[in-house]
Amino acid sequence: MPKQKNNFEKIDDTKNLKKILKNKKQKNYNKDEEIEKPKNARHTLKRLVLSIKDEYRRLLIVIISIIFYTALTIIAPLYSAKIIDILWSSINTAIQNGTTFSITWEQGGIDICILLEIYLVTTILYILQKFMMTSFSERLSLKFRKQISNKLNVLPLSYFDKHKPGEILSKATNDLDKMSETIQTGLLTLFTSIGTVIGSIIMMMYFNIMFSIIFILFMIVSMALTRVFTNKTLKSAANRQQKVENLTAQVEEAYSGRIIIKSFNQEEKSIKEMSEITNEVAKATRNADFIIYAINPAIRFINRLGQVVIAILAGKALIEGRLTVGGFQAFFIYMNQAAEPLTEASYMINSLQSALASVERIYEMLDEEEITPEPEQPEVVENAKGNVEFSHIRFGYSPDKMLMEDISFKVKQGQKVAIVGNTGAGKTTLINLLMRFYDINGGEILLDGKDTKKLTRANLRSNFGMVLQDTWLFEGTVAENIAYGKPDATRKEIIEAAKMARVDFFIRTMPKGYDTVLSDDTEGISVGQRQLLTIARVMLCNPSVLILDEATSSVDTRTEIEIGKAMQALMSNRTSFVIAHRLSTIVDADLILVMKNGTIIEQGNHRELLDKNGAYAELYNSQFA
């Protein structure tokens, strides 16, 4: 009567393995695992199902495969029990006849062959669904990622102001990976589990109702235990997360402030503080890890307890002839087939919920309001002359709070316009509006007499060259970074631009010169040097209108003047807008706009404004006291 436990233990163990793996992966995401529940699960689910329309056929195959797979999993034990019965009776007969028995085609061989075939088909189905789901889930993530990348280009800048980069980043990476992971393992397990549990319990009932009830009672205990453990896991994981966050803060602070720690001889104190926190993390991690790893043995213990009880009762029934040998084995197999998926269910529901919450977050982002559409029949400005007019501009970053009420000024072709004022006065805002990074709430901005709203953004921006306050470099060589706005630039042009920006020498001192690979967080390049690189970038583009937003704020005054000279040569007869906090760089401007709280409080050239003896004069004198 052997062979009962094998089959189910197999299931038992492979499932365990999957669960442990899953636990391991879950750990990485534990942070949001606990509290996370989708706000509107049904709606999100519906939308998700609709969005995978083109995969329906594939999913259908998977579902059919699952149905057959489950059916075979339920038939196999019944069949293998039959084989054992055949073998056992043949062996018994042989022993009674005093001969030995060996398996022949007729005696057992054919049955073993059929069992082998059942197993082979099961395996093939298993492999089929596994592999189909693998590529399905990744293709789905890819689809979402592509949608996100499209969305990124049409989101208004206000979205980026409101959301931290890490937050957006985690949607495109963590959230989608979580979804993919759940679809791959979770969904498949869930489907097969449901089938197996129902099938097995029906078969068990068929063999013996009383034992089935005992089994179900033990299952309820072990499910309750799982529940308790799940709650504990969540709590301890949350606790660990909290402690890890403390540690992260402490470590970041300590490394960033290490010069101070050392300068003030505070090393010992700092080490002590650090080790207190690392110790707390160790404690929290220990508890969290223990609980996660204790679940399996604990549940296995309950299950085995149930098995022992039923084994004794079933043994008794066997002896009393109330149960056949085959029935005994088959019952055990089904018992185990049903036990595992049941305890897994609560896990599965958790991870499905949190995956759905992830998907919901992605939908939220995809549903964000987009920038206003481009005009249907846009006007075109090529190689603008550079006449710019702001006329009665009203604007606020949020519609209920206006920053600018009524701004008007005119810039003629070739003029240098300087914008000065304190932080928060609205200097950069003016540039943002000119570039149409934000849409104005009233009035109009004209470029060469044409309303900028009637141009496409691309056409409008192609007339401007802009150097921003925050220098942005991407992962690529120095040359690629400089040629960002003009990818077909020759090396000679690139070097020329770098020379004008006074950064050629610095580039040459880098390990690979112009072919040195940079990234946004490259260390060893100062802010000033970054600014020079971005200036070179714009110089190469040779735009009609130049915009410099604190472009040289971190460059020393001597270099700044040298760049200023190069820039003047480049910009002669072109319009330029300059925001600067060092007034020395803008005293020669044709028009100076002095801003305060979103309005222009003075405008004129340097002499006129000094003679006025107003805000500008005050600012100027404060800088050159």
Partner 1 sequence: MKIIIKFIKPYKLLCFFTILFIIFDILGTLYIPTITANMINSGVGNKDINYIIQEGILMLVATIISSLGALVGSYLCSRLASNIGRDMRDALYKKSLKFSHFDFKQFGTGSMITRTLNDVNVIQQTAVSFIQMVIPVPIMCVSGIVMAFSIDKFMGFLLLGITIIIIISAVFITKKASIIFERLQRFLDKMNVVLRENITGVRVIRAFNKENHEKNRLKDSFQKYAESAIKANRLYAGLDSLAFFTINICIVAILYIGGNRVGAGAMEIGDITAVTEYAILILFYLIMAQMVLILMPRASICLKRIKEVLDTEPEIHDGNKKMAASNKDNKDVICFKNMTFRFADADEDTLYNLKFTCKRGQTTAIIGSTGSGKSTIAKLIMRFHDTTKGSILLNGQDLKSLSQKEIREHISYIPQTAWLFSGTIADNLRYGNEDATEGEMYHVLEVAQAGFVEELEDGLQTRVAQGGTNFSGGQKQRLAIARALIKKADMYIFDDSFSALDFKTDSNLRKALNKEIKDSAILIIAQRINTILNADQIIVLNDGKVVGIGKHDELMKNCTVYQEIAKSQMKGDIDNAKTEK
Residues 133-162 that bind partner 1 (CB under 8 A): 134-135, 137-139, 141-142, 145-146, 149-150, 152-153, 157, 160
Shortest CB 543 distance to partner 1, Å: 10
Query: Is 443 strand, coil or helix?
Result: strand
d(CA 591, CA 410): 9
Phi, psi of 581 (to 5 degrees): -95, -20
Q: Which helix (H) or strand (E) holds 409?
A: strand 404-411
Residues 319-348 that bind partner 1 (CB under 8 A): 319, 325
Q: Exactly one of 31, 235, 412, 457 binds partner 1 (CB under 8 A); which one?
A: 457
165: contact with partner 1 by CB under 8 A: yes
The CB density around residue 9, as the number of other CB atoms within 10 Å, is 14
Shortest CB 571 distance to partner 1, Å: 11
* Helical segments of 367-453, H only: 427-434
Q: Which region among 125-133, 191-199, 211-219, 400-408 touches partner 1 (by CB under 8 A)?
A: 125-133
Q: Exactly one of 214, 311, 366, 601 binds partner 1 (CB under 8 A); which one?
A: 311
Residue nearer to partner 1 on the CB measure, 209 or 625: 625
CB 428 within 8 Å of CB 600: no
Long-range contacts of 616-624 (CB under 8 A, 24+ apart): 616/420, 616/592, 619/420, 619/583, 619/594, 620/583, 623/582, 623/583, 623/584, 624/583
b/e for 287-304, b at 16 or more Cβ within 10 A? bbeebbeebeebbbebbe
Residue nearer to partner 1 on the CB measure, 345 or 371: 371
Residues 467-506 that bind partner 1 (CB under 8 A): 468, 470, 472, 474-475, 484-485, 487, 506
- CA atoms 460, 463, 469, 470: torsion sign: positive
Q: Exactly one of 557, 597, 611, 613 binds partner 1 (CB under 8 A); which one?
A: 557
Token pair of 355, please?
């995956």
624: contact with partner 1 by CB under 8 A: yes
Q: Exactly one of 68, 79, 101, 206 binds partner 1 (CB under 8 A); which one?
A: 101
228: contact with partner 1 by CB under 8 A: no
230: contact with partner 1 by CB under 8 A: no
262: contact with partner 1 by CB under 8 A: yes
Q: Exactly one of 293, 439, 441, 515 binds partner 1 (CB under 8 A); which one?
A: 293
54: contact with partner 1 by CB under 8 A: no
Residues near 227 by Cβ (< 8 Å), separated by ≥ 6? 346
CB 148 within 8 Å of CB 172: yes
Residue nearer to partner 1 on the CB measure, 106 or 400: 106
The CB density around residue 524, as the number of other CB atoms within 10 Å, is 6
Shortest CB 301 distance to partner 1, Å: 4
Shortest CB 624 distance to partner 1, Å: 5
CA proximity to 434, closest of 314, 554, 544, 573: 544
- Residue 104 DSSP class: B
Q: Which helix (H) or strand (E) holds 350?
A: helix 325-366
462: contact with partner 1 by CB under 8 A: yes
Residues near 214 by Cβ (< 8 Å), separated by ≥ 6? 306, 309, 310, 313
Q: Which whole-number Å values give the CA distances from 540 to 415, 423, 537, in the listed order? A: 21, 30, 5
Q: Exactly one of 227, 264, 490, 608 binds partner 1 (CB under 8 A); which one?
A: 264
CB 536 within 8 Å of CB 480: no
Token pair of 182, please?
């759940």
94: contact with partner 1 by CB under 8 A: yes
56: contact with partner 1 by CB under 8 A: no
Longest CA span, the chain:
128
d(CA 161, CA 240): 31
391: contact with partner 1 by CB under 8 A: no
Q: Exactly one of 254, 566, 601, 617 binds partner 1 (CB under 8 A); which one?
A: 254
Q: Which whole-number Å values give the CA distances from 598 to 406, 410, 419, in the listed order? A: 9, 17, 12
115: contact with partner 1 by CB under 8 A: yes
Residue nearer to partner 1 on the CB measure, 136 or 514: 136
105: contact with partner 1 by CB under 8 A: no
Shortest CB 181 distance to partner 1, Å: 9
256: contact with partner 1 by CB under 8 A: yes
- Residue 324 DSSP class: -
Shortest CB 598 distance to partner 1, Å: 20
Q: Which region among 202-210, 307-315, 390-398, 492-500 touches partner 1 (by CB under 8 A)?
A: 307-315
Shortest CB 407 distance to partner 1, Å: 21
Amino acid identity, position 284: A
CB 314 within 8 Å of CB 263: no
Shortest CB 392 distance to partner 1, Å: 25
Residue nearer to partner 1 on the CB measure, 208 or 462: 462
566: contact with partner 1 by CB under 8 A: no
CB 440 within 8 Å of CB 433: yes
373: contact with partner 1 by CB under 8 A: no
14: contact with partner 1 by CB under 8 A: yes
Q: Exactly one of 383, 441, 519, 597 binds partner 1 (CB under 8 A); which one?
A: 519
Q: Annotate each residue in 32-51 with x if it binds partner 1 (CB under 8 A) or - if it does not, as one string.
A: --------------------
- Residue 470 DSSP class: S
Residue nearer to partner 1 on the CB measure, 38 or 182: 182
Q: Exactly one of 158, 239, 413, 584 binds partner 1 (CB under 8 A); which one?
A: 584
Shortest CB 555 distance to partner 1, Å: 7
618: contact with partner 1 by CB under 8 A: no
Number of residues that bind partner 1 (CB under 8 A): 161
283: contact with partner 1 by CB under 8 A: yes
Q: Which whole-number Å values give the CA distances from 150 to 144, 153, 162, 366, 436, in the listed order? A: 10, 6, 19, 9, 19
Residues 525-554 that bind partner 1 (CB under 8 A): 526, 528, 534, 541, 554
75: contact with partner 1 by CB under 8 A: no
437: contact with partner 1 by CB under 8 A: yes
d(CA 133, CA 131): 5
285: contact with partner 1 by CB under 8 A: yes
Q: Exactly one of 187, 381, 417, 466 binds partner 1 (CB under 8 A); which one?
A: 466
Residue nearer to partner 1 on the CB measure, 275 or 441: 275
